[in-house]
Amino acid sequence: MDKIPILKIGHFLMVAIQVDLYDRLALNLEADLVQAVSKTGARGVLIDISAVSIVDSFMGRILGNIAGMSKILDADTVIVGMQPAVAITLVELGLPLKGVQTALNVEKGMELLQQKIKITEEEEPEE
């Protein structure tokens, strides 16, 4: 069984999808990621889809689920590296990934997540 590795970098988890996803693999990734967020207490999840050549409605739903489930566990999700052709197709398909944050690349995605924790840390009263 294929498995997509989940890397921990500081407060964040990172996943780079490098293979063609079939439905079972995507569902396993969803379960593994949510488990990992809970286990590590990660504050952010970064998913790199730059090597993914198609995102259909099923894959889009999984990405939305991951973002929604992680949010409940207090982690933000950012999808990075979407190919322009994939973005065009998603909008035409009628699935603009509402509620999912995106960034152009891994670097920008990391910056976005870092800003988010900084803001919440400032909001929390100092002990």
Residue 62 has phi, psi (to 5 degrees) of -60, -45
The CA distance from 97 to 58, in Å, is 11
| Residue 69 contacts other proteins per CB under 8 A | no
Per CB under 8 A, which region of 7-15, 33-41, 58-66, 105-113 contacts other proteins?
Answer: 58-66
CA 37: distance to chain centroid?
Answer: 11
Per CB under 8 A, which region of 3-11, 40-48, 65-73, 93-101 contacts other proteins?
Answer: 93-101
Per-residue contact track with other proteins, 21 to 50, x per CB under 8 A? -xxx--------------------------
Tell me how far, at minimum, the Cβ of 52 lies from other proteins, in Å.
10
Assigned token pair, 65:
């689920």
Residues 6+ apart with CB under 8 A from 94: none
The CA distance from 120 to 26, in Å, is 30
Q: Which of 3, 94, 124, 127 is close enough to bind other proteins by CB under 8 A?
A: 94
Assigned token pair, 116:
């988010």
Q: Which of 58, 68, 96, 115 is close enough to bind other proteins by CB under 8 A?
A: 58
